């Protein structure tokens, strides 16, 4: 896989009758081609959401994701 660039990526979950939850808030990240990255953090910190938006399984609320320079 090539390089991955996230620019101000935000993912908000909106639940009816509840407050919105920001899983990712203006995240900027650059992963070079061939680079290995470990994502760690406490429960409910956005790790799985980050992987899901990079994989294209979830839409971002704001920002851009580029893989090999392609949106």
How many C-beta atoms lie closer than 10 Å to residue 49's C-beta?
21
Q: What is the CATH number of the domain that holds 45?
A: 3.40.50.300
- Reduce the DSSP state of residue 64 to 3 states and report it: strand
CA dist., res. 23 & res. 47, Å (int): 9
**pLDDT value of residue 19:** 86
Domain count for the chain, please give it: 1
The answer to whether 11 and 49 are in contact (CB under 8 A) is yes
Mean pLDDT for 48-70 is 96
pTM for the model stands at 0.87
| Structural domain of 36 | 4-67
CA dist., res. 42 & res. 50, Å (int): 14
* Residues 3-57 pLDDT 10s: 999 999 999 998 877 789 999 999 999 999 999 999 999 999 999 999 999 999 9
Structure tokens at 26: 């203006």
């Amino acid at each position: 896989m090539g390089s991955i660039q996230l620019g101000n990526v935000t993912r908000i979950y909106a639940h009816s009758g509840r407050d919105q939850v920001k899983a990712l808030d203006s995240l900027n990240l650059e992963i070079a081609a061939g680079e290995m990255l470990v994502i760690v953090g406490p429960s409910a910190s956005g790790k799985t959401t980050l992987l899901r938006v990079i994989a294209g399984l979830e839409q971002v609320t704001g920002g851009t994701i580029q893989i090999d320079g392609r949106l």
